[in-house]
Amino acid sequence: MTSLNEAWFDRAQKVLPGGVDSPVRSFRSVGGTPYTVVRGAGAYVEDVDGTRYLDFVQSYGASLLGHAHPAVVSALCEAVGQGTTFGAPTPGEVVLAEVMTTRVPGLEQVRLVSSGTEALMSAVRLARGVTGRDKIVKFDGCYHGHSDALLVAGGSGVAQMGLPGSAGVTAGAVSDTIVAPYNEVPALDESVAAVLVEPVAANMNLVAPNAGFLRGLRAECSRVGALLIFDEVITGFRVAFAGAEEFFGVRPDMWCFGKVIGGGLPVGAFGGTSEMMASLAPLGPVYQAGTLSGNPLATAAGTTVLNMVTPGDYEELSQRVATFAANLEAAVASSGLVGRCPTQGPLMGLFLSREPFEAPKNFGEAKVLCENGLYRAFFHAMLERGVALAPGAYEILFVSLAHSADDLAATVHKAAEAAEVAARS
Ligand SMILES: *Cc1c(COP(=O)(O)O)cnc(C)c1O
């Protein structure tokens, strides 16, 4: 008997390449048929066959409160009745920008866009416009969206597909992009406009920054007049109340956001000081625009999420995740495999191996673990037990505020069984 998941995926494959609109959803690296989701509530999603899963994908981090949070739903319902987009300024975009700039010290202005990709692409243009320099530095295994100049040595789906970059990106488009190993401060010179970094690398599974890495980047950028750009599309308003700056005590020159700030709707943002942002059109010579930018639905959802959370929520979530990580490692160990769940606040990775290992410090080390084949079996064993992890070993687990201690305890129990399955694979 074909399941409705299979039927929908067959239909999808006829009209959507690979049956998906984003490659990370495709199950290509773990095998099998993706579940097609019809609804989500809190920590759970339900597929077209009526199967419920405890969801650790959470739209790859876009959902901080869990799915369909009543406050977000009601803010959206209220907003939608008033019209969805106007091509004129709206109060909602002002309010979201006020919340963000009030919360993040040093962030004075933002430009709202519609995705993380757009935020990074525009931030790079602004950095080049402001500095008058061409080169940018990124780190191996960090993902900064799919714009041409940044689509080299990317994590996430790029790593999952085993690609160094992408076909269709010209040598010219990446010739000013320098790739350096994560956790090593590169020596810069005056040709560098900007250094882009994920303050916590969360697209090569989870790789934490060494003590001194971000501080070292700050000092090296300041030394040569390059701009330090924190790609906070994952860490922003998730790793801590005010994001990576609060968590690590390092202030970048520019910030990029996405995911959490849209409350599940398409939003991104990039920002910096008012002086720097004055180089953007209409005030300055760096052009950047968007028909749906600052969309009233997206800003309503995002503002609601940011206003719901308190610093205490982040402490509590970090605590819950710390316990979860320790218990999950113990559960995996009971199977004879070795599991490591590095955490940074509420962010958590999961590496599996048959041998003891140190937590990876760069993409090379992460890759060896992500490619050892164990995740595939573990992933499917968890899915069969009603726990949805991301269908790729390079992704992290997103624990939302809707995941209860009981949800996490049940997951640990299932992980012990799934690890046994993986150990026999
Ligand atoms: C998801 C992600 C992006 C891209 O955001 P999109 O909204 O998918 O375009 C950029 N940077 C990081 C760190 C991300 O995790």
What are the sequence ranges of the domains in the chain? 4-64+310-424, 70-308
CA of 266 to the centre of ligand 1 (A): 11
Tokens (6 digits) for 406: 């009981």
Q: Tell me the pLDDT tens digit for each residue of 95-115.
A: 999 999 999 999 999 999 999
Does domain 70-308 fall into CATH 3.40.640.10?
yes
The pLDDT assigned to 152 comes to: 82
Average pLDDT for 131-150: 96
Which residue in 231, 253, 367, 375 is the catalytic one? 231
From the CB of 231, is ligand 1 less than 6 Å away? yes
Q: Which of 135, 138, 259, 367 is catalytic?
A: 259
> Rounded to the nearest whole angstrom, what is the distance from the C-alpha of residue 258 to the centroid of ligand 1?
7
Whether residue 48 has pLDDT greater than 70: yes
Ligand 1 pocket, residue 144 CB under 6 Å: yes
Confidence of residue 167 (pLDDT cuts 50, 70, 90): confident
For residue 404, the Cα-to-chain-centroid distance in whole angstroms is 22
User: Contact 375/326 with Cβ under 8 angstroms?
Assistant: no
H or E element in which residue 331 lies: helix 311-333
Model pLDDT for residues 215-248, shown as the tens digit of each residue: 999 999 999 999 999 999 999 999 999 999 999 9
Superfamily of domain 4-64+310-424: Aspartate Aminotransferase, domain 1 (3.90.1150.10)
Distance (angstroms) between ligand 1 centre and the Cα of 233 equals 6
How far, in Å, CA of 354 to CA of 357, rounded?
A: 9
Predicted confidence (pLDDT) at residue 19 exceeds the cutoff of 90: yes
Ligand 1 atom with the smallest distance to the CA of 142 is 13
Q: What is the pLDDT of residue 267?
A: 97
Q: Does 310 score more than 80 pLDDT?
A: yes
Q: Is 340 within 8 Å of 207 (Cβ atoms)? A: no
d(CA 157, CA 74): 33
Span 400-420, average pLDDT = 98
**Looking at the predicted structure, is the pLDDT value of residue 159 above 80?**
no
Q: The whole model's pTM is what? A: 0.97
Separation CA 393–CA 349 (nearest Å): 9
Question: What confidence tens digit (pLDDT) does each residue in 329-378 have?
Answer: 999 999 999 999 999 999 999 999 999 999 999 999 999 999 999 999 99
Evaluate if residue 162 carries a pLDDT over 70.
Answer: no
Let me know if 259 is a catalytic residue: yes
Of 296, 401, 308, the C-alpha closest to 77 is 296
d(CA 139, CA 142) in angstroms, rounded, equals 6
Q: Please compute the mean of the pLDDT values over residues 291-295 and round it to a whole number.
A: 97
